[in-house]
Amino acid sequence: MRLVVNGEPAQVAAHDLAEALVALGYEGAVVATALNGEFVPARKRAETILLEDDRIEIVAPRQGG
Amino acid sequence: METLEVYGVELKSRLLLGTSKYSSLDVMAKSVRAAEAEVVTVSVRRESSRFREGQEFWRIIRDLGVRVLPNTAGCYDVREAVTTARMAREIFNTAWIKLEVIGDRDTLAPDVFGTVEAARILGEDGFEVFPYTTEDLVVCKRLVEAGCKVLMPWGAPIGSGKGLNNPFGLRALRARFPDTPLIVDAGIGLPSHAAAAMEFGYDAVLLNTAVGAAGDPIAMARAFREAVEAGYAAHRAGPMQPRDMAAPSTPVVGQAALS
């Protein structure tokens, strides 16, 4: 499926957001996700079905002021 | 120093420190220790599955044993800030959020209208909001009405190091909100700026660049810790009132008549 992951186009073989994270190599990482600008809690990733051209944001802790 | 209570948490340190701008994560960690900061600000940013930079940073922060205050830095509208706050809450497992809704790219001045709106949404969603705001009295009233139990007026634009641009406004805010914790956030460049904020009766200061971008961040962190302690002690000690004309400190009575 064609998705936009962190601003970059990506082909991902996944049916839902949880599968996409595994397919993209994020297994075990501390991350949070948003789909098309809306926060998706970790517990809801498996029930969040992806559609063609969905925009996914995957963020992690980073330095901040 | 007496402890500072914010959202039911007692803090011994009144210096909140940012984690950005350091030459390395090791220098960052040593600076946090030198500052004896109990609260550090952090952010969330896009993670690469290949490099996983955020994971190492997070491990080091957890090892420091400090409390984190995630920010919504770089957000220019309410929706973006709210989504960022929700992602940060899940990652860092805290209801605390340093709310930044930016309104101007050159000065990074807060969009105070968006900040009030986002504060209300986040407060209703269970967040404990630390709003980055201007020192505008009425904006601060609106933020308190929106549920904020702490206010964080800027001293000067973020990263500018210009200190306290509007001492009158900051003092007025202190006078009008005697019971709300007030933290000067942003613009502090020198320990003397931090001391001045504390002398005004501010409860704490939050800074990043002044330490992270210093020639020796660890030494500067220590200098800021001492300045915050000195400013706090000075405020408690009751500063003298300034006057326009001189007043001799040496007794006039008893001076020999020699002319």
Pairing of strands A38-40, A32-35: antiparallel
Please tell me the number of Cα atoms within 13 Å of A23 on its side-chain side.
Answer: 14
The stretch B122-142 carries a mean pLDDT of: 98
Catalytic (active site) residue B98: yes
User: Does any domain span residue A24?
Assistant: yes
**Quick one: B14 exposed, middle or buried, by C-beta within 10 A (0-12, 13-18, 19+)?**
buried
DSSP-assigned letters across all residues of B10-75: EES--EEEE--S-SSHHHHHHHHHHHT-SEEEEEEEE--TTT-HHHHHHHHHHHHT-EEEEB-TT-
Query: By residue range, what is the domain housing residue A24?
Result: 2-59
> What is the ipTM score, two decimals?
0.96
**Bridge partner list, B98:** B71, B130
Scanning A39-58 for CB atoms below 8 A from B yields 39, 41-42, 57-58
Mapping DSSP to helix (H, G, I), strand (E, B) and coil, where does residue B233 land?
Answer: helix
The number of domains in chain A is: 1
- Which of B135-144, B168-177, B246-255 comes out lowest in average pLDDT? B246-255
Contact A32/B at CB under 8 A: yes
pLDDT on residue B1:
86
How far apart CA B220 and CA B165 sit, in angstroms, is 22
Which CATH number do you get for residue A14? 3.10.20.30
In a domain, A64, yes or no: no
- The stretch B71-97 carries a mean pLDDT of 98
The pLDDT, as a whole number, for residue B161 is 97
For an interface test with A, give the residue of B17, B20, B40, B47 to mutate (most A CBs within 10 A): B47
- pLDDT by 10s per residue, chain A, length 65: 999 999 999 999 999 999 999 999 999 999 999 999 999 999 999 999 999 999 999 999 999 99
DSSP for B169-217, please give it: HHHHHHHH-TTS-BEEES---SHHHHHHHHHTT-SEEEESHHHHTSSSH
B201 band by pLDDT with thresholds 50, 70 and 90: very high
User: Closest Cα to residue B39, out of B206, B187, B219?
Assistant: B206
Q: What is the mean pLDDT of residues B170-178?
A: 97
Separation between Cα atoms, residue B190 and residue B192, nearest integer Å: 5
Per the domain annotation, does A65 fall within a domain? no
Query: What pLDDT is recorded for position B163?
Result: 97
Of A26, A33, A63, the CB nearest to B49: A26
- pLDDT tens per residue, range B55-65: 999 999 999 99
Query: What's the whole-number average pLDDT of chain B?
Result: 97
- Supply the pLDDT for residue B53: 93
Check residue B156 and give its pLDDT. Answer: 97
Residue of B nearest to A59 (CA): B46
